[in-house]
Amino acid sequence: MACAAFITFFQVAITRSAIAPAPFALECNLAISPPRSEILLRLCNGLISHHFPVLSQNSAQLQQNAIATQIATFTQQTQLNRVQDEERRSTNKVDSVSKMLGIELTDKLRRVSHATTDDESSAFWHRMAATKKSARLGVFQAYIDTAKERLNKEHLTFVADNALLNATLSLSWAMVHKGAIGTGMNMFRFGDTDVEAAQQLNSHLELILSGSVNSSGG
């Protein structure tokens, strides 16, 4: 109760009479604030920035710049990865003849067709490469039917099956017999570079097999 008198003084000081209102005993004019000192403000801010670097405006700006740089780097790397993924998917979607046949069969096809690139291969191989495996047999039959119409042989019946399709795509046609040069895939039917020389060799071999000439050319 040591402060009872002090509390009573404040109770009386804040009590206003209803009969003759008078100003509060504690009421006084507010003191005029002193003018701001720029020197003291700079000194105060310097002390605060020195002891609390996190609150420094320069530090906050540097942190924001660092965060912005990291975000820009992350965004750029993400965009680069997206572009690379799109290029990779586009590359995988491109069905080329060499991709369908493989290295060995592609080299074999280029030798027999005298093509140096996939673009020089016939339209049949490009169509096969661009067609799903389940639909290749139908496309193969369509090519056969088109060939029959072009030869005016529509009446002929020629139904392609999977065995013929696989043999065609694998370039592994078998010869009728070991001495046949008119059937199958063999070196005498297809010359690597000189077509005329290959044709002359085939004609000479046919004459030999027919008994018209001997192997010495007589």
pLDDT of residue 62: 67
pTM exceeds cut of 0.75: no
Q: How confident is the model at residue 57 (pLDDT cuts 50, 70, 90)?
A: low
Confidence of residue 180 (pLDDT cuts 50, 70, 90): low
pLDDT at 190 exceeding the cut of 80: no
Sign of CA dihedral 146, 147, 148, 150: positive
Give the C-alpha separation, 99 to 129, whole Å: 8
Question: Using an 8 Å Cβ cutoff, are 101 and 168 in contact?
Answer: no
Residue 24, pLDDT score: 63
pLDDT, tens digit, 9 for 90 and up, residues 8-37: 887 777 776 666 666 666 666 777 777 788
215 pLDDT exceeds 60? no
Residue 192 has pLDDT above 60, yes or no: no
Burial class (CB in 10 A: 0-12, 13-18, 19+), 97: buried
Would you give the distance in Å from CA 165 to the centre of its chain?
32
What confidence tier does 58 reach under pLDDT thresholds 50, 70, 90? low
